[in-house]
Amino acid sequence: MNEKLVPWAPAQMTFSDYMSQPLPADAIRFEGPQSFYGLTMMDLEKFIAHHGKEKYRTQQLYKWVYEKKVTDFEQMSNLSKDFRAELKSLFTFELPKVLTHLKSVDGTQKFLFDMGDRQTVEAVLIPSDDRMTLCISSEVGCNMACRFCFTGKQKLKRRLKTEEIVGQFLQAQALLPEGWRITNIVFMGMGEPLDNPEAVFKSIEILCNDWGVNFSRRKITVSTSGIVPEMWRIAASKTRLAVSLNGYDDESRTRVMPINRRWDITELLNECRQYTRLTKDLVTFEYVLLKGISDQIEHARALHKLTRDVPCKINIIPFNEHPGADFQRPSDDTIEAFHAELMRLGVHVLLRRTMGRDIFAACGQLTSAYKEHPGQMDISNSNLGGKHVADSRRGELGLR
Ligand code: SF4
């Protein structure tokens, strides 16, 4: 029996066709040097074949680099001397440099990474009882211009490369004390992941490879403001979908998220339903509570009505203020009443505890324009995780 074509895909293909397609690869350069951290297993296989070597060498290399954390080819004892010399000229192992490393009073840590061309992004580590979550960036700045978001005030400067996304994870993991590990990754840092899909989904392939970091796909969440034609990729990568909803109807959403003019709520929710059908998973809707704008009881009821036929949970995020913000955070009583109303209506809802506000690492507060904020603790010269993270380029970049 013929499988049905999927209407949400850019070509006339079935879902099985999509699942069997390799994810789009960046142009693979066969001449070096290039970053090892930007190559999926499939890229590396092609690379190795191009150099006349056996396929199993790919697994050996991945194992050395990601499992044994060896980046000196001379130490890769199961490779021939000639091949080791050749590899040296082909690959680099540069990682984003940590310019600052801050720790909040609640344990949240924030990293400012230098991407090497005077562009910086932030990533945030959020500890909780049962998980250590890394919130990762996909772009320097963002063109989506969501009005409640500090990053959105900074136009897109550039999209990150695959190795720069993988590098945020590797650096953050390396800076954790011995025996600690990152358990979850969320693409909720700077940038819209679906505006940089090739690098984002390649980085997921690299992080989830059995021979490499072996991170679980089910522990990765990709959050989108709603680039509907690209959302199929989240189901295809078997990761979790989060959607920045932030409105209870088209009018309220368009007021804070201009992308709603391009893809409205009907299109967005249809795509979410498609995701839940294909993955049997819930969608997470993020809903920022803005004082006097989206925090009233009738808004909670409208939100329930809007989402009740989508298998979902809703994360309520009280607005985190930032310099020049157009909005205010509602009072604790208003936040609690909104939450209670959704609970009364039977919604699967979570009131997100605000983490990292004192170091400006809370949701919607990330920017690459670094500013000092009161109460933060700079641990860039501390020995957290056994590594010193001070960097001489701080002065060069004007970050003192
Ligand atoms: S919320 Fe996300 S998509 Fe919207 S401006 Fe901020 S970084 Fe971009």
Contact 40, 25 (CB under 8 A): yes
Q: Which of 74, 94, 122, 198 is catalytic?
A: 122
Whether the CB of 152 sits within 6 Å of ligand 1? yes
Q: Which CATH class is domain 15-92?
A: mainly alpha
pLDDT in tens, 281-332: 999 999 999 999 999 999 999 999 999 999 999 999 999 888 788 899 999 9
Q: What percent of the chain has pLDDT over 90?
A: 65
Give the ranges where 209-289 is alpha helix by DSSP (H): 232-236, 250-256, 259-262, 265-279
- CA 225 to ligand 1 center in whole angstroms: 7
Higher pLDDT, 82 or 240: 240
Task: Return residue ranges of the chain for CATH 1.10.150.530.
Answer: 15-92
Residue nearest to atom 3 of ligand 1 (CA): 192
pLDDT in tens, 6-58: 555 556 666 666 556 554 444 455 556 889 999 999 999 988 888 888 889 99
Side-chain-side CA neighbours of residue 72 (13 Å): 2
* Neighbouring residues of 44: CB distance < 8 A, sequence distance ≥ 6: 58, 61, 62
Whether the CB of 224 sits within 6 Å of ligand 1? no
Which residues sit opposite 111 in a β-bridge? 101, 123
- What is the chain's length? 400
Higher pLDDT, 164 or 377: 164
Contact 275, 241 (CB under 8 A): yes
pLDDT at 356 over 80: no
pLDDT in tens, 119-154: 999 999 998 888 999 999 999 999 999 999 988 888
Residue corresponding to tokens 């009131």: 351
Active site residue 67: no
How would DSSP label each residue in 161-207?
Answer: PHHHHHHHHHHHHHTS-TT----EEEE-SSS-GGGSHHHHHHHHHHH
For the chain, the average pLDDT equals 85
Q: What is the per-residue pLDDT for 377?
A: 33
Residue 364 burial by Cβ neighbours in a 10 Å radius (0-12, 13-18, 19+): buried
Residue nearest to atom 7 of ligand 1 (CA): 191
Nearest to 359 by CA among 99, 111, 171: 111
Residue 33 preceded by cis peptide, ω within 30: yes
Residue 118 neighbours by CB distance under 10 Å: 11
Contact 140, 190 (CB under 8 A): yes
Residue corresponding to tokens 């550039």: 158
User: pTM for this one?
Assistant: 0.84
- CA 289 to ligand 1 center in whole angstroms: 16
* Neighbouring residues of 224: CB distance < 8 A, sequence distance ≥ 6: 192, 193, 194, 230, 231, 234, 241, 242, 243, 244
CA dist 137 and 191 (Å) reads: 6
Q: What percent of the chain has pLDDT over 70?
A: 80
Q: Which helix (H) or strand (E) holds 57?
A: helix 56-62
- The CATH number of domain 132-372 is 3.90.1150.10: no
Measure the CA dihedral 391/140/289/315, to 10°: -80
Which ligand 1 atom minimizes the distance to the CA of 191?
7
What number is the average pLDDT over the span 218-246?
Answer: 97
CA dist 230 and 246 (Å) reads: 20
Task: Return residue ranges of the chain for CATH 3.20.20.70.
Answer: 132-372
- CA 64 to ligand 1 center in whole angstroms: 36
pLDDT in tens, 244-253: 999 999 999 9
pLDDT in tens, 167-215: 999 999 998 888 889 999 999 999 999 999 999 999 999 999 998 899 9
- CA 144 to ligand 1 center in whole angstroms: 6
pLDDT at 387 over 90: no
Active site residue 122: yes
The distance from CA 183 to its chain's CA centroid, rounded to whole angstroms, is 14
- Side chain identity at residue 158, one-letter code: R
How would DSSP label each residue in 321-345?
Answer: P-TT-S--PPPHHHHHHHHHHHHHT
